[in-house]
Amino acid sequence: MQHVKTLGLLALLSLGAAGAQTVTVGLDADPPRLDPALSSALVDRQVLNQIFDKLVDVDENLKIVPMLAKSWKITNKGLTYTFTLQPGVKFHDGNPLDAAAVKYSLERAMNIEGSARKSELSSVKEIKAVNPTTVQIDLKEPYGPLLAVLTDRAGMIVSPKAAEKAGKDFQNEPIGSGAFRYVSRKRQDNITLEANKAYWGGAPKIEKLVYRPFPDGDVRYANLLSGAAQVIYPIDPKDISKLEKNDKYEVLNIPGLGFQGIYLNLTRAPFNNKAARQAFAATIDREAIAKVVFYNTVTPATGPFPPGTPAYINTAVPKADIALAKKKLQESGKPLSFTLLTSPGAVNTQLAQLYQAMAAQAGITVKIEQVEFGTLLDRSDTKDYEALMLGWSGRPDPDGNVYDYFVTGAAKNDFGYSNKKVDELLNKARRESAMSARKTTYNVALTTVREDVPYIWVYHQSNPVGTTKTLSGLRKIPDGIMRFKDVTLK
């Protein structure tokens, strides 16, 4: 606990030096990749959204609203999107953000080695800088999710000159046009941003924004109470009710769009065996997990779409079935033993141990290995795992919760999953305009995915943010991203 007190004292001294204009945010991990094209983690997005502007954004009702693009029109039977840009916007390095920069940024996201945006933009045929304030995107085929995709990292515009100069190191020197500019980072300690006083949308009200990684939920909570942080995300479930009863703090419980669960690696033993995957999946008691680990602050999941979202399908939550697990284990033809990879934190530890205990009831042996979050992502990307605990923060359009995961070779398909029927159906859903038709198509595809079990959906999370009441202006936007441009600190 001495370590917590020391961190608190250091942060408070920093706050005093900077006046009441520094906001410190405690996160559950150190953001691994500060490059919109390479990022694949929610914790990255918390920082990236301050540094980079997007073509469009979403509001509290998930309505797509203007950002860098002040207006747009869709023509040519849904194949052409024409964006009119805000005039006079400049990057943090002083270079103009014009149509040429937008074209460069989108093409970079489509083509750069290791890009996590390739499949999000795979329907794009050509991008044209019509004039300095007009960008035209032509598609190969209708792609309904395009605007929603551009509200996130695919729509973040990077400085071409900075990106060209930095090359692979751009994630360590990110330059955008956002409300805050990157200053410095010390890995596993802090990322420091400062207000962009020349911001085209009006200068932020705070001067500095400091992100600090506290993987342990108790440490995050202690830093909020000590004043070392003014915001923490997420709050551990056991602390939510305590914080709600404390009149000095506020809990913003923002509905989520994503899911959490377990990846199974289909490219190697033991989970290249479908019956083995089905056996392990049958041991999971989602209701017990929601109650024991999360104090009923999460919703048991049966698929990628949370209740209340457009493509949600009301499917019965699977019950734990140990008899079925044992039957499938027999079908697999061999005992099942594997290592479950997880990142640090009390909640993750408890969750992994519960999975371990549930599997043991069917005679399945689960070993637990804990690694730093960035390492977890790297091992997922390279398929260097047997099973791992990882979820998705979710997207406004349902395509963002399924396509990249389950289409053969897609950016987030770290299971090595391939099913031609699923590929055909998810590509069909992209071409359909009516959500009712897309919902039906998703339902058929997900029936197959559930049978194949490359991923075990366990629960849908919310986005619980804890703040001091001296801070105001954080908006409850369901994408889970905190926006600090209009935040004030008394």
Which CATH number goes with the domain that contains 193?
3.40.190.10
- CA 120 to chain CA centroid, Å, is 14
| Tokens linked to 240 | 């939510």
pLDDT at 1 over 90: no
- Its domain, for residue 117, covers 56-163
Report if residue 102 sits inside a domain.
Answer: yes
pLDDT per position as a tens digit, 307-323: 989 999 999 999 999 99
Residue indicated by tokens 């983690």: 41
Question: Is residue 16 very low, low, confident or very high in pLDDT (cuts 50, 70, 90)?
Answer: very low
Q: Assess whether 282 and 387 both reside in one domain.
A: yes
The answer on 184 and 83 residing in a single domain is no
Whichever domain contains 330, its CATH number is 3.10.105.10
Tell me, yes or no, whether 174 lies in a domain. no
Q: Are 223 and 229 within 8 A, CB to CB?
A: yes
d(CA 214, CA 232): 9
Please tell me whether residues 384 and 449 are part of one structural domain: yes
Residues 332 and 444 in one domain: yes
CA distance linking residue 80 with residue 233, whole number of Å: 39
| Strands 259-264 and 455-460, sheet pairing | antiparallel
pLDDT tens digits, one per residue of 357-380: 999 999 999 999 999 999 999 999
CA distances for 387 relative to 276, 317, 342, 368, 454, angstroms:
12, 22, 9, 10, 10
Is residue 35 domain-resident?
no
> Are 395 and 152 a contacting pair, CB within 8 Å?
yes
Q: Are 324 and 307 in contact (CB under 8 A)?
A: no
Length of the chain: 490
Predicted confidence band of residue 404 (pLDDT cuts 50, 70, 90): very high
Alpha-helical regions (H) of 202-285: 217-226, 237-244, 274-281
Residue 448 lies in a domain: yes
- Residue 393: C-alpha distances to residues 63, 116, 158, 324, 481 (Å): 18, 15, 23, 31, 9
* 66 and 136 co-located in one domain: yes
Please tell me whether residues 475 and 378 are part of one structural domain.
no
Question: Is 80 exceeded by the pLDDT of residue 453?
Answer: yes
Query: What's the mean pLDDT when you consider all of the chain?
Result: 94
Residue 83 CA, chain-centre distance (Å), reads 26
Q: Read off the pLDDT of each residue in 34-51 and give the average, rounded to a whole number.
A: 96
My answer on whether 249 and 360 are in the same domain is no
Same domain membership, residue 268 and residue 417: yes
Q: Flag whether pLDDT at 134 surpasses 70.
A: yes
**Residues 335 and 421 placed together within one structural domain of the fold:** yes
Q: Is 294 among the domain residues?
A: yes
- pLDDT at residue 255 in the model: 82
Q: What pLDDT digit, counting tens, does each position of 241-284 carry?
A: 999 999 999 999 888 999 999 999 999 999 999 999 999 999 99
Q: Of the residues 112, 131, 163, which one is the last residue of a structural domain?
A: 163
User: Which residue has 């099973």 as its token pair?
Assistant: 387
One domain, residues 414 and 286: yes
Cα–Cα distance for residue pair 194/210, rounded to 1 Å: 9
Counting the structural domains of the chain, the total is 3
3-state DSSP assignment of residue 399: helix
pTM of the model: 0.88
Residues 88 and 22 occupy one common structural domain = no
User: Mean pLDDT lowest for which of 1-15, 195-209, 425-439, 446-460?
Assistant: 1-15
Residue found under tokens 């706050």: 15
Model confidence at 5, pLDDT cuts 50, 70, 90, reads very low
